[in-house]
């Protein structure tokens, strides 16, 4: 068995990757391709679903080709994906009827306000664990049906299918044989009842979505289908949304264990065990995973703009040529010199949920340099995570002693140390930071018996570095106080355009 390998497909917001893992959980090979981001209007973010498919399928072939392996050496495929991003396609043409609407997209913000005003918030929260927001798939799907010519007629005729990115990839890899999703991705659509574990007819009716469009919902570790694009069919046996996959890959298997993934956004997820904890602090209740008919739940706080803030400073403002330069620039100055950057470039997510907030840079003086601004951006990412963790601790009525971290930005030692200082808790970086892909690989391998049990894989998680708080508590509290003052200045900004 150990001579075979697991192929993990990690379909992210800005690139598609493929990683081959061996039985010891070690990375054998990696392939990655970026794809284009489309911004047709202010607040709109789109992807070409066909390009997602082409980049993901090509890196899957590439990662195998750049080793000495053949397709028959792959035991199984695990898929993890950007969540909430919405694809609708025509089964007759097998083509999308519109670009994929990305999780960051805000075009349905006004409609979300109408839903709240109509009194639907409590019902939706009780069924789905989610807050009404343009972030989730339901309003994006409704927008496509309402705005693409002929979409409603095709949907009524049974020609259209909806899927989050995992469903789209499974459909394409199986050449249309399988239209399915997993329970974690389903739980992010605002259409799935996380308690009854089914698509909720009341919600489908509210959004005027035909039930026939919806994929079959499976657990996270079972056979979804087989690839029909290779000489040797390979079973797809593990699927999970990226944040739940990272929670599993980080081996946060017990209630109260938490991780933060620092990617385009930041996502803090805490295992709450078999209890679906309802948040009093604007966090989301979601499904962590389902294994052997047992559902594990989680609390989640999402930060829309994490690493994307540094990308914007690089690509939008030209303040740095490479994101990796941010650490040296931040440490080139003694402190932030009173500069605070609230990166609400797509509104503010948890715990504020202000879709009308906008990015704010305050505290500028003649002495401000680009190094101060870059440092403020890194600190702004850490402050957002701290706000989410504080809300989570209040919901759980307990303090978090450690935070496991992953994602590209955790290589930045300055930010990780600052994060530990602001959280007042230990931040732990694992040796293998590809925990999102690793989670998908583990789920796939467990389904086939490649790994016999969770105990078989738990020892594979190892620590690279631990960051302990070094800053005095009073200093950390003062920084947080100023940060919260900056946040207040960013909130509701877009609404001021109405006056």
Annotated binding-site members:
13-15, 17, 83-84, 135, 242-243, 264, 307, 311, 408, 412
In the structure encoding, which two tokens stand for residue 288, read together?
């962590």
Which residues neighbour 455 within 8 Å (Cβ) at sequence distance 6 or greater?
Answer: none
Closest residue by Cα to residue 21 from 444, 465, 408: 444
CA distances from 489 to 7, 362, 363, 379 (A): 46, 9, 12, 17
Annotated binding site for sn-glycerol 3-phosphate, which residues? Answer: 13, 83-84, 135, 242
**Alpha carbon distance 361, 371 (integer Å):** 14
What torsion, rounded to 10 degrees, do the Cα atoms 349, 355, 358, 360 define?
-40
Closest residue by Cα to residue 306 from 70, 29, 13: 13
Task: Determine how β-strand 192-193 pairs with β-strand 74-81.
Answer: unpaired
What is the side-by-side strand order in the sheet with 87-90?
Answer: 95-96, 87-90, 160-163
Q: What DSSP designation does 38 have?
A: B
Which helix or strand (DSSP H or E) is residue 405 part of?
strand 402-406
**Alpha carbon distance 185, 83 (integer Å):** 6
Which helix or strand (DSSP H or E) is residue 68 part of?
none
In the structure encoding, which two tokens stand for residue 358, read together?
């906008």
Q: How far is CA 444 from the centre of its chain?
A: 19
Annotated binding site for ATP, which residues? Answer: 13-15, 264, 307, 311, 408
Annotated binding site for glycerol, which residues? Answer: 83-84, 135, 242-243
CA distances from 311 to 17, 31, 193, 348, 388 (A): 19, 21, 36, 18, 22
**Alpha carbon distance 235, 227 (integer Å):** 6
Annotated binding site for ADP, which residues? Answer: 13, 17, 264, 307, 408, 412
Q: What DSSP designation does 337 have?
A: T
**Alpha carbon distance 482, 492 (integer Å):** 18
Which helix or strand (DSSP H or E) is residue 149 part of?
none
**Alpha carbon distance 275, 257 (integer Å):** 14
In the structure encoding, which two tokens stand for residue 96, read together?
């999308």
Query: Helices (H) and strands (E) in the chain — how many of each?
Result: 16, 24
Instruction: Give 132: exposed, middle or buried? Use CB within 10 Å, 0-12, 13-18, 19+.
Output: buried
In the structure encoding, which two tokens stand for residue 65, read together?
């080709």
**Alpha carbon distance 39, 346 (integer Å):** 12
Could you give the count of Cα atoms lying within 13 Å of 233 in the half-sphere of its Cβ? 11
* Cβ atoms within 10 Å, residue 214: 22
In sequence order, which ranges of 34-132 are alpha helices (DSSP H)?
A: 49-65, 109-117, 121-128
Contact (Cβ atoms closer than 8 angstroms) between residue 265 and residue 308: yes
């Amino acid at each position: 068995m150990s001579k075979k390998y697991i192929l993990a497909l990690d379909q992210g917001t800005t690139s598609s990757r493929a990683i081959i893992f061996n039985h010891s959980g070690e990375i054998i090979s990696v392939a990655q391709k970026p794809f284009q981001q489309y911004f047709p209007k202010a607040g709109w973010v789109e992807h070409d679903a066909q390009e997602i498919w082409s980049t993901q399928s090509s890196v899957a072939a590439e990662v195998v080709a750049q080793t000495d392996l053949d397709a028959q050496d792959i035991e199984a495929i695990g898929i993890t994906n950007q969540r909430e991003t919405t694809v609708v396609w025509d089964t007759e043409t097998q083509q999308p009827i519109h670009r994929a609407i990305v999780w960051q997209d805000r075009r349905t913000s006004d409609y979300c306000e109408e839903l709240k005003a109509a009194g639907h918030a409590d019902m939706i929260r009780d069924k789905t664990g989610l807050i009404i927001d343009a972030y989730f798939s339901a309003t994006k799907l409704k927008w496509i049906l309402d705005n693409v010519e002929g979409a409603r007629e095709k949907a009524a005729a049974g020609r259209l299918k909806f899927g989050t990115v995992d469903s789209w990839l499974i459909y394409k890899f199986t050449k249309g044989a399988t239209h399915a999703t997993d329970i974690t991705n389903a739980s992010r659509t605002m259409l799935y009842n996380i308690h009854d574990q089914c698509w909720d007819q009341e919600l489908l009716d509210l959004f005027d979505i035909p039930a026939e469009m919806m994929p079959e919902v499976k657990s996270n570790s079972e056979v979804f289908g087989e690839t029909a694009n290779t000489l040797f069919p390979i079973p797809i046996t593990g699927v999970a949304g990226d944040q739940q996959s990272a929670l599993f890959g980080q081996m946060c298997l017990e209630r109260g264990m938490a991780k933060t993934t620092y990617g385009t956004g930041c996502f803090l997820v805490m295992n709450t065990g078999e209890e679906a904890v309802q948040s009093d602090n604007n966090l989301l209740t979601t499904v962590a995973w389902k294994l052997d008919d047992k559902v594990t739940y989680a609390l989640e706080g999402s930060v829309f703009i994490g690493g994307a803030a540094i990308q914007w400073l690089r690509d939008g403002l030209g303040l740095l040529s490479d994101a990796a330069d941010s650490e040296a620039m931040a440490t080139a100055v003694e402190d932030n010199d009173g500069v605070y950057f609230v990166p609400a470039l797509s509104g503010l997510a948890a715990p504020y949920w202000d879709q009308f907030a906008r990015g704010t840079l305050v505290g500028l003086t003649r002495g401000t340099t680009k190094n101060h601004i870059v440092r403020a951006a890194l600190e702004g990412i850490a402050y957002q995570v701290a706000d989410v963790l504080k809300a989570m601790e209040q919901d759980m009525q307990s303090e978090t002693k450690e935070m496991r971290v992953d994602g590209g930005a955790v290589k930045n030692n300055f930010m990780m140390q600052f994060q530990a200082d602001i959280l007042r808790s230990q931040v732990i970086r694992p040796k293998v930071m590809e925990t999102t892909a690793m989670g998908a690989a583990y789920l796939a391998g467990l389904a086939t018996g490649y790994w016999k049990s969770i105990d078989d894989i738990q020892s594979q998680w190892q620590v690279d570095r631990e960051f302990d708080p070094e800053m005095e508590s009073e200093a950390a509290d003062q920084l947080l106080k100023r940060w919260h003052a900056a946040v207040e200045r960013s909130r509701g900004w877009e609404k001021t355009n109405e006056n």
